[in-house]
A and B are shown apart, each in its own frame.
Chain A
Amino acid sequence: GENVEQHPSTLSVQEGDSAVIKCTYSDSASNYFPWYKQELGKGPQLIIDIRSNVGEKKDQRIAVTLNKTAKHFSLHITETQPEDSAVYFCAASLRMGGTSYGKLTFGQGTILTVHP
């Protein structure tokens, strides 16, 4: 089955700096890569996703890049703010349809702390 590795496990930055979280996956058939943000005491929430036919996607201060050949993808957060402090999870899946049923394999998570 799919295996997703995520690094680093913790990341501490100063407000205004950039933060980068990296993930690798093992199954070359995976073609959907979401990123979830989990705030303290809450469930994960999707913040951005990318499909395998796209190399990069941006949404304001966050961006995700995908390298299918190397089987890795990264989350980039620019101009970090204290409210970006949370746990971030990457995941991999087959796109909805067929027998994939949208099942996600998650990375281990990164605790991001943004210091004012």
Chain B
Amino acid sequence: NAGVTQTPKFRVLKTGQSMTLLCAQDMNHEYMYWYRQDPGMGLRLIHYSVGEGTTAKGEVPDGYNVSRLKKQNFLLGLESAAPSQTSVYFCASSSLRRNEQFFGPGTRLTVL
């Protein structure tokens, strides 16, 4: 099992550009999450999904959109990137029976 995978691993954008981060999990987990990690601030929840076709806002959702068209995939979109979105983005998944979240390796995004 690959667990949770994220693509791409690194990306540099210019202000105003758009991009989509892809998260995939092969553990048949119902729940999936997107976090951003910034120095001194821990991980903050952007959006999450409790099942195929459903998404909800987390702590810091502004400037991001998500979609979960398939159970195994969770996409994070930036429609118009801003320098404040420079961060490391992590995807995670968990089953509905256990609290443990399994994290992907992260995507380092720089917005110039």
A and B co-occur in one complex: yes
On whether the beta carbons of A49 and B104 are closer than 8 Å, the reply is no
Count of interface residues, chain A, beta-carbon cutoff 8 Å? 27
On whether the beta carbons of B90 and A32 are closer than 8 Å, the reply is no
13 residue pairs of the A-B complex, CB under 8 angstroms, read: A9-B40, A34-B99, A43-B105, A45-B103, A93-B99, A101-B50, A102-B94, A103-B33, A104-B43, A104-B45, A105-B45, A108-B41, A108-B42
Q: Knowing A1-B59, A96-B97 touch, does A103 contact B45 (C-beta < 8 A)?
A: yes
Q: Which of A4-36 contact B (CB under 8 A)?
A: 4, 6, 9, 32, 34, 36
Provide the bound-state CA to CA distance between A109 and B96, in Å. Answer: 26
User: Chain A: which residue is nearest B98 at the CB level?
Assistant: A96
Q: Which of A45-81 contact B (CB under 8 A)?
A: 45-46, 49
Which of A's residues lie within 8 Å of B, judged by CB? 1, 4, 6, 9, 32, 34, 36, 41-46, 49, 89, 93, 95-96, 101-109
Provide the bound-state CA to CA distance between A6 and B43, in Å. Answer: 12
Chain A hits for B77, CB < 8 A:
none
Quote the shortest CB–CB distance from A54 to chain B (angstroms): 14
On whether the beta carbons of B42 and A102 are closer than 8 Å, the reply is no
On whether the beta carbons of B44 and A101 are closer than 8 Å, the reply is no
Chain B hits for A4, CB < 8 A:
42
On whether the beta carbons of B99 and A89 are closer than 8 Å, the reply is no
Q: Does B62 contact A (CB under 8 A)?
A: no
A1, A42, A49, A95: which contacts B105 (Cβ < 8 A)?
A: A42
Q: Knowing A49-B100, A89-B43, A103-B58 touch, does A43 contact B4 (C-beta < 8 A)?
A: yes
Quote the shortest CB–CB distance from A112 to chain B (angstroms): 15
Q: Knowing A43-B104, A89-B42, A108-B42 touch, does A102 contact B59 (C-beta < 8 A)?
A: no
B4, B31, B90, B103: which contacts A102 (Cβ < 8 A)?
A: B31
Provide the bound-state CA to CA distance between A32 and B94, in Å. Answer: 14
Quote the shortest CB–CB distance from A70 to chain B (angstroms): 21
Chain A hits for B48, CB < 8 A:
101, 103
Q: List the 6 closest pairs (A to B, CB-CB), nearest first.
A: A43-B103, A106-B42, A106-B43, A108-B42, A44-B103, A96-B99
